[in-house]
Amino acid sequence: MGHDHSSYTQVYGKAFGIGIGLNIAYVAVEVIYGLIIDSSALLADAGHNASDVLSLVFAWFAMAVAQKKPSIKYTYGLRRSTILVSILNALLLFGAAAVIGWKAWQKLFEPVQIAGTQVMIVAGIGIVVNTVTALLFIKGQEKDLNIKGAFLHMAADAGVSVGVVISGLLINLTGKNWIDPLTSFFILIIIVYGTWKLFIDSINLALDAVPKDIDYDDVRKFLQGHEHVKAVHDLHIRAMSTTENALSVHLVVNPVSDDLLKRLKRELHEKFGIEHTTVQLENTDLDDALNTTQ
C-alpha cells in the first residue's frame, strides 16, 4: 500500500482514458451494425455497454476527486468517494446481471435464433475490447475496490461476448436454441459471485470496518509488544479510501517522546500499510469516557 498517490492516479488515469475511449468506439460499432442488420440484440447490448462506460467514468471521477486536498468543510478530503463509487458499481453490476438473467429466462421459453455471423463478429470485437480494458486494471483491482469495480465490469462484458460467440457457434452446429440462455446463466453466476464480494467489501469499508488485509489483533500485539508501551486502548483502524488506511490509538508509554511517535508511525506504515496514523501518547491511562469498549 505504500505508493506514490500522484503516480498511481496518473497510471490509472491513463488506463481509464484508454478504456473509456475503446468502449465508446465499440458502442458506436454495435449501434451502427445493429441498425444495418436490424439486430435488437446488438442494440440492446450497446445500451448495456454504454452503462459500463458510465461506470468507468464514475470510477475515474472518484479517483480524481479523492486527490483533492482537505477543506474547511471536508476536513478529510473526498477520499471516501472511491468507496461510494465501488458500491455504486456493484449495484450497477447487479442491475446488469438482473437484465441478463431476465432475458435468458425469457429465451428458455421463447427461444430465438442467433442473428448470424455478423453478430458473432461484433461480439468477437467486444471480447478484444473488453479483455484489453480489463487487463488495464488487473493489477490495481487486487488492492483497490474502486479499480476492482471497473475490472469486474469489463471482465463481465468480455464473458458475455465470449458466451455470445460460443453459443452462436454451437447453435449453428446443433440447431439447439436453448444453448444461448444456458450460457447466459453460467456467465450470470460468475458475475454475481464476483460482484457480491465487491459489494460486501465496499459496504464494510463504508461502515468503517477494519480493512480485510489488516489483522486487528496483529496491530494490537505489535503496539503492546513495543518496549516503551505499557498499555493500548481506543485502537481504531478504518479505510479512508479504497487505497488508504487510517489508525488512531491511545498509548500509555514511559517515557513519552517524539522519537517514539515517529518510530511507531513509520513501523505501522511499513508493517501494515497504514498511511494515516494518529497516536495519543499518555503517561497515565486517560481512556475515552465516551467509548471504553476497546
> What per-residue confidence (pLDDT) applies to 235?
93
The proportion of the chain whose per-residue pLDDT surpasses 90, expressed as a percent, equals: 15
User: Given 178, 206, 234, which residue is the final one in a domain?
Assistant: 206
Same domain membership, residue 79 and residue 27: yes
Same domain membership, residue 20 and residue 78: yes
Same domain membership, residue 154 and residue 277: no
Same domain membership, residue 105 and residue 142: yes
Same domain membership, residue 233 and residue 121: no
> What per-residue confidence (pLDDT) applies to 282?
85
Query: Residue 131 domain-assigned?
Result: yes
Q: What are the start-end ranges of the H helices in 175-209?
A: 179-206
State how far the Cα of 97 lies from the Cα of 115, in Å rounded to an integer: 22
- Give the neighbor-by-neighbor strand order of the sheet with 229-239: 229-239, 245-253, 276-282
pLDDT digits (tens, 9 = 90+) for 155-210: 888 887 887 777 777 777 777 777 777 777 877 787 788 788 889 988 998 999 99
Number of domains in the chain: 2
Same domain membership, residue 194 and residue 220: no
Average pLDDT, the chain: 81
pLDDT digits (tens, 9 = 90+) for 27-54: 888 788 767 766 556 666 676 777 778 8
Q: What are the start-end ranges of the H helices in 110-144?
A: 116-136
Query: Residue 271 domain-assigned?
Result: yes
Mean pLDDT of 141-150: 80
Pairing of strands 229-239, 245-253: antiparallel
Query: Residue 15 domain-assigned?
Result: yes
> What per-residue confidence (pLDDT) applies to 286?
59
What is the CATH classification number for the domain harbouring 166?
1.20.1510.10
User: Given 148, 183, 206, which residue is the final one in a domain?
Assistant: 206
What is the CATH classification number for the domain harbouring 276?
3.30.70.1350
Query: Residue 19 domain-assigned?
Result: yes
pLDDT digits (tens, 9 = 90+) for 86-129: 898 888 888 878 887 887 788 777 766 655 567 778 888 888 99
Q: How confident is the model at residue 228 (pLDDT cuts 50, 70, 90)?
A: confident
> What per-residue confidence (pLDDT) applies to 26?
87
Which residues lie closer than 8 Å to 116 by C-beta, 6 or more apart?
A: 37
Give whole-number Cα distances, 238 to 204, 235, 242, 274, in Å.
10, 10, 10, 9
Same domain membership, residue 266 and residue 155: no
For residue 267, the enclosing domain spans 216-282
State how far the Cα of 35 lies from the Cα of 266, in Å rounded to an integer: 60
Predicted TM-score (pTM) of the model is 0.73
